[in-house]
Amino acid sequence: MAAIFSKRNVVIGLIVLAALFPYVARNDYYLHVLTLAFIWMIAVYGLNLLAGFTGYLSLAHAGFFAIGAYALGLLTVKAEMGFWPAFLLAPVITTGIGFLVGIIALRTKEHFFAIYTLCVGYIIYLVIDKWEGLTGGVRGLIGIPAPADIGPISLSTPIAQYYFVLTILLLVILVIYRIIHSLTGKTFIAIRNSEDLALSLGISTIKNKLLSFVLSTFFAGVAGALYASFIRFIGPDIGNLNITFDLLVYMIVGGIGTLSGPIVGTLLIVWLSQNLQFLQDYRMLIFGPLLTLIVIFSPRGIVGFIAGWFTNWKLRRKVNINQAQEQAEEV
Amino acid sequence: MLETRKLTKQFGGLVAVKDVDFSLEHGKINAIIGPNGAGKSTFFNVVSGLYRPTSGQVIYKGKDISKLPANKVAELGIARTFQTTHLFEMATVFDNVVVGHRLRTQSNLLDSIFRTKRLKQEEEKCKEKALEVLKFVGLSKSVDRMVTNISQEEKKRVAFALALATDPEIVFLDEPTAGINPDETAELSQLMEKMAQQGITICLIEHKMQMIMKLAEKIMVLNYGEKIAEGTPDEINHNEEVIKAYLGGSASA
Ligand SMILES: Nc1ncnc2c1ncn2[C@@H]1O[C@H](COP(=O)(O)OP(=O)(O)OP(=O)(O)O)[C@@H](O)[C@H]1O
Ligand SMILES: [Mg+2]
């Protein structure tokens, strides 16, 4: 049984499932919800790289998501730039601002860092909300173009957009996977574990923390740009703290510091939200306790819980501890 | 090779290290002793670059390194362990140690994303280094065990291995045998001797007098941040001030 569920097969299976989904579901609404969930996942991956693997919890993430979205919106609508140049430039702009914020924010640690970034996030929101001349203020920005055709391939139908976003998501996951499993990722993890130890091992914590921060804003920017081109209308609310907290919930429920946590958490919460829509804001009565339970009983979320269970199961079967741990680390 | 000149570290009004002149015996085992709160760990923290000295200098190979950040100091070949091991408990021994050689690699983000040849070579290098130092400290069999599941003594060995993975010339060990039984202490002493035989200069902080007297060739005694004595174990044993500091020095101060 273990052979069928090897990591490789699971990954291939999931990709096939995602690729077939539009034909199985045959429902534009579900397609819309899932495409949006993919976009959130990209943002959550960015947050997870910083908070989960480097140990710095940024509460400005929705702010950077909004910067990516507004960058794309403003470049296409106001500067009348073509879609693709704008789509490439938006994450670059986000990353540039992320770099500047990071230099200052990373002078702080732990809860001070969280509070500082909370303020930064709110300032970004305020700027978007109040700077009507540029952003359109509360009225928002309308008429953002969908992704332009690539040669003969049209990206204007819901199915095409679904595949487009899925492709970007898979790329993001690949990049994150490689970062985590390389010397760069090990460096981040060393910093998360103990900055003093990392320093005394010759790791430049300043440089590496900034790298992780900038990367996290890059992924937020990509997600934001995708969001703007998918929804085609943006308002200041996307930079609101609510969004940061949504992303946090996706990450924590799925499993902070795990590779598949962002997928699991986002899918689960989005699915729950859909099914509990009739409860309106009372949904929080379910999410609140759920989150609390997870934080108490499985700090590494659902994925951490399953990985731990899987490790034990393997141990009980007296399989080499080594392999079990590897599996647990890599899910 | 490494010496301090009038090294001073102040925390607000508290002078934790005061005007300490000290030089390490090259290739030997050096020790720093002193009562609790004497400033031993602070001395380490300043020398290893974690803290900036308030005044004074740390000279290494003729260069003043007192303004360098800790990671640069490590690059120069000065490694250290901490009084409480800062290991990542939820990872394997190997995973903890493999990052120890990172400072001798060049791979950057792009290498990682594109999995370049350089990255693969350097990852291999880090792996080999980790296995080599784990073998050296006698943990070859525990490579794949989780750090939470190993003994306190083994954790100390992992910390040694991490320091060794940086290819150091000097290793500072902060209370390497704290919380460890006498038999294990003897084994760790042997390991330190083995390190010194490899040409590594060692400087350790210890409270276990018997062990230090046997192990060290040079000892410095700190009391309230000041060096009150320095010399061979024999000289220290017969030093009036040291005896006073250890037998109720705090009462007379
Ligand atoms: N970061 C710091 N901030 C303020 N005071 C400090 C700091 N680090 C150490 N001290 C103070 O400096 C003095 C020396 O502490 P240090 O840890 O160097 O002593 P020590 O000799 O290592 O003691 P022990 O044997 O208990 O480890 C103590 O009074 C301690 O409270
Ligand atoms: Mg100490």
Contacts of B74 (CB under 8 A, 6+ apart): A199, A200, A201, A202, B48, B49, B103, B166, B168
Q: What is the CA radius of gyration of chain A?
A: 20
pLDDT of B128 > 70? The answer is yes
> At B72, which helix (H) or strand (E)?
helix B70-75
- What's the pLDDT band for A329 if we cut at 50, 70, 90? low
Across residues B50-55, what is the average pLDDT? 96
Point out the least confidently predicted range of A78-92, A112-126, A203-217, A264-278.
A264-278
Return d(Cα A39, Cα A168) in angstroms, integer: 9
pLDDT of B19 > 60? The answer is yes
Asked whether residue A41 is domain-assigned, the answer is: yes
Find how far residue B193's CA is from the centre of its chain. 14
Sequence-distant contacts of A314-320: CB under 8 A, at least 24 apart:
A320/B144
Encoded amino acid at B207, one letter: H
Across residues B191-207, what is the average pLDDT? 94
pLDDT of A215 > 90? The answer is yes
pLDDT of residue B81: 96
Domain range annotation of chain B: 1-77+168-253, 90-167
- What's the pLDDT band for A53 if we cut at 50, 70, 90? very high
Pick the CATH number of B1-77+168-253 from 3.40.30.10, 2.60.40.10, 3.30.470.20, 3.40.50.300: 3.40.50.300
pLDDT of residue A135: 87
CB of B37 closer than 6 A to ligand 1?
yes
pLDDT of B251 > 90? The answer is no
How far is the alpha carbon of A213 from chain B, nearest alpha carbon, in Å? 13
pLDDT of A234 > 70? The answer is yes
pLDDT of A279 > 60? The answer is yes
Query: pLDDT tens digit string along B63-91?
Result: 999 999 999 999 999 999 999 989 998 89
Domain extent for A230: 18-240
Return d(Cα A176, Cα A50) in angstroms, integer: 11
pLDDT of residue A8: 84
pLDDT of residue A319: 52
CB of B41 closer than 6 A to ligand 1?
yes
CB of B156 closer than 6 A to ligand 1?
no
A17-43 burial, b at 16+ Cβ within 10 Å, e below that, comes to ebeebbeeeeeeeebebbbbbbbbbbb
pLDDT of residue A318: 53
Point out the least confidently predicted range of A57-71, A280-294, B150-164, B216-230.
A280-294
Nearest Cα residue in chain B from A192: B88
Encoded amino acid at A245, one letter: F
Encoded amino acid at A180, one letter: I
pLDDT of residue A299: 85
The residue whose CB lies within 8 Å of the most ligand 1 atoms, and thus the one to mutate among B7, B10, B11, B46, is B11
Residue with tokens 């030997």: B28
Tokens of B48: 């290893």
In sequence order, what are the beta bridge partners of B229?
B221
pLDDT of B51 > 60? The answer is yes
Nearest Cα residue in chain B from A185: B112
Report the half-sphere exposure of B34 (CA within 13 A, side-chain side). 26
Got the DSSP string for B154-204?
A: HHHHHHHHHHHHT--SEEEEESTTTT--HHHHHHHHHHHHHHHHTT-EEEE
**Which one is predicted more confidently, B210 or B112?**
B112
| Contact between chains at A186 and B91 (C-beta distance less than 8 A) | no
Asked whether residue A84 is domain-assigned, the answer is: yes
| Contact between chains at B119 and A182 (C-beta distance less than 8 A) | yes
- What's the pLDDT band for A322 if we cut at 50, 70, 90? low
> From the CA of B174, how far away is ligand 2's center (Å)?
7
Which positions in chain B touch A203 (Cβ < 8 Å)? 71, 99, 102-103
Q: Which of B83, B109, B143, B145 best probes binding to A when mutated, by most A CB atoms within 10 angstroms?
A: B109
CB-proximal residues (5 Å) to ion ligand 2: B 41, 83
- Give the closest of A183, A184, A193 to B88, CB-based: A193
Question: Which residue, judged by its Cα, is nearest atom 10 of ligand 1?
Answer: B16
Point out the least confidently predicted range of A129-133, A287-291, B159-163.
A287-291
Return d(Cα A208, Cα A216) in angstroms, integer: 12
pLDDT of residue B252: 39
Asked whether residue A150 is domain-assigned, the answer is: yes
Is A175 an interface residue toward B (CB < 8 Å)? yes
- What's the pLDDT band for A327 if we cut at 50, 70, 90? low
Query: pLDDT tens digit string along A29-46?
Result: 999 999 999 999 999 999
Tokens of A327: 């599996």
Contacts of A96 (CB under 8 A, 6+ apart): none
ipTM: 0.92
Count of the separate structural domains present in chain A: 1
pLDDT of residue A187: 96
Which positions in chain A touch B161 (Cβ < 8 Å)? none
Note whether A258 and A304 are within 8 A (CB).
yes
**Which one is predicted more confidently, A62 or A24?**
A62
| Contact between chains at A184 and B145 (C-beta distance less than 8 A) | no
| Contact between chains at A187 and B80 (C-beta distance less than 8 A) | no
- What's the pLDDT band for B192 if we cut at 50, 70, 90? very high
Asked whether residue A248 is domain-assigned, the answer is: no
pLDDT of residue B52: 95
